[in-house]
Chain A
Amino acid sequence: MSRVTRALAGLGSALALAACATTSGADAGAETASASKPVSPEFNKNPYPSTYRPYPGEPTALVGATVFDGTGAQLDNATVLLRDGKVEAVGAGLDTSGYAVIDARGKFVTPGVIDIHSHLGDYPTPSVPAHSDGNEATSPSTPDVWSEHSVWPQDPGFTRALANGGVTSLQTLPGSANLVGGRTVTLKNVPSRTVQGMKFPGAPYGMKMACGENPKRVYGSRNRMPSTRMGNFAVNRQTWLDAQAYAKDDKKKRDLAKETLQGVLEGEILVHNHCYRADEMALVMDMAKEMGYRVTAFHHAVESYKIGDLLRENDVCSAIWADWYGFKMESYDGIPENAALLQQAGACVVIHSDDENGIQRLNQEAAKAQAAGARMGIAIPDGQVVRWFTLNAAKAMGIDSMTGSLEPGKMGDVVLWNGDPLSVYSRPEKVWVDGALLFDADDPKRRPVSDFELGQQGEGDVK
Chain B
Amino acid sequence: MIRASLLAASAAAIALATPATAQDFAITNATVATGDGSAPIANATVVVRGGRIAAVGAEVRPDPSLPTIDGTGLWVTPGLIAAVTTLGLVDVNGVESSNDTSASRARFNAALDVAPAINPASQHIKVGRANGITRAVISGGASNSIFAGQGAVIDLGDDPSPVTKAKAFQMVTLSESGSRIAGGSRKASHAELRNALREALDFAAGRWSGEDNLLTRADAEALGPVVAGTQQLFVEAHRASDIRTVIALGKEFPRLRLVLVGATEGWLVAQELAASGIPVMAESLQDLPERFEQIAATQSNIGRMRAAGVNVSINADSIRFTDHLKQHAGNLVALGRMSGAAGLSWGEALATISSRPAEAVGMGGKIGVLKPGAAGDVVIWDGDPLEVSSGAVQVFIDGVEQPLDNHRTRLRDRYRDLDESDLPKAFDW
Contacts and interface: CB of A to CB of B under 8 A. Distances in A.
Q: Do A and B come from one complex?
A: yes
Interface of A: 1-8, 11-12, 16, 125-128, 156-157, 160, 164, 213, 305-309, 323-329, 332-337, 341, 345, 355-357, 360-361, 364, 367-368, 370-371, 374-377, 379, 418-419, 422-427, 441-442, 444, 452-453, 456-458, 461-463
Given A16-B94, A326-B124, A368 B388 contact: yes
Contacts of A341: 415-416
B101 interface: yes
A418 B337 contact: yes
A307 B171 CA distance: 45
B386 to A, nearest CB: 6
B330 A7 contact: no
Contact of B389 (A306, A325, A334, A370): A370
B411 A1 contact: no
Contacts of A306: 415, 418
A306 B424 CA distance: 12
Contacts of B173: 1-2
B272 to A, nearest CB: 15
B339 interface: yes
Contacts of B338: 427, 441, 462
Nearest to A340: B412
Interface stretch (B59-67, B216-224, B313-321): B313-321
B140 interface: yes
A157 B286 CA distance: 11
Identify the 3 closest CB pairs spanning chains A and B, nearest first.
Answer: A4-B141, A424-B330, A328-B94
A172 to B, nearest CB: 16
Contacts of A462: 298-300, 338-341
B94 A2 contact: no
B143 A371 contact: no
A299 to B, nearest CB: 17
Interface in B118-139: 123-124, 127, 139
Given A332-B92, A377-B1, A463-B287, A371 B296 contact: no
B298 A374 contact: no
A444 B102 contact: no
B142 to A, nearest CB: 5
B34 to A, nearest CB: 21
B327 to A, nearest CB: 6
Q: Which of B175, B295, B341 gathers the greatest number of chain A CB atoms within 10 Å? A: B295
Given A2-B175, A8-B141, A441-B339, 18 more contacts: A1-B148, A2-B173, A11-B94, A126-B292, A326-B123, A327-B320, A335-B412, A361-B331, A367-B389, A371-B390, A375-B4, A376-B1, A423-B388, A424-B330, A425-B334, A461-B340, A463-B298, A463-B299
B268 interface: yes
B416 A442 contact: no
B339 A442 contact: yes
Given A367-B388, A371-B390, A444-B340, A461 B298 contact: yes
A377 B262 CA distance: 40
Nearest to A358: B320
12 contacts: A3-B141, A3-B317, A12-B94, A126-B291, A329-B92, A333-B411, A357-B286, A367-B388, A368-B327, A424-B330, A441-B339, A458-B295
Contacts of B295: 453, 456-458
B142 A5 contact: yes
Contacts of B176: 2
A323 B321 contact: yes
Given A160-B287, A305-B415, A444-B340, A371 B327 contact: no
Contact of A1 (B124, B127, B171, B388): B171
Nearest to A453: B289
Nearest to A8: B93
Nearest to A426: B334
A235 B224 CA distance: 58
B112 to A, nearest CB: 12
Interface residues on B, range: 35 or more
Interface of B: 1-4, 84, 86, 91-95, 99, 101-102, 123-124, 127, 139-143, 148, 171, 173, 175-178, 181, 234, 236, 240, 261-262, 265, 268, 285-292, 295-300, 317-318, 320-321, 323, 327, 330-331, 333-335, 337-341, 386-391, 407-408, 411-412, 415-416, 418
A7 B102 CA distance: 11
A262 B265 CA distance: 50
A176 to B, nearest CB: 13
Given A367-B389, A427-B337, A463-B299, A8 B99 contact: yes
Contacts of A12: 94
Contacts of A328: 92-95
Given A424-B327, A425-B334, A427-B338, A3 B93 contact: no
B333 A8 contact: no
Given A364-B388, A457-B295, A1 B418 contact: no
A368 B107 CA distance: 44
B288 A357 contact: yes
Contacts of A327: 92-94, 320
B418 A309 contact: yes
Contacts of B3: 374-375
Which of B291, B330, B418 has its CB near the most chain A CB atoms (within 10 A)?
A: B418
Contacts of B124: 326
A456 B148 CA distance: 32
B318 A3 contact: yes
Contacts of B387: 423-425
B333 A5 contact: no
A356 B335 CA distance: 19
B102 A8 contact: yes
Nearest to B416: A376
Nearest to A444: B340
Contact of A425 (B139, B261, B299, B330): B330
A335 B181 CA distance: 37
A321 to B, nearest CB: 9
A376 B268 contact: no
A135 B77 CA distance: 45
A2 B289 contact: no
B4 A424 contact: no
A380 to B, nearest CB: 12
A15 to B, nearest CB: 9
Nearest to B123: A326
B1 A1 contact: no
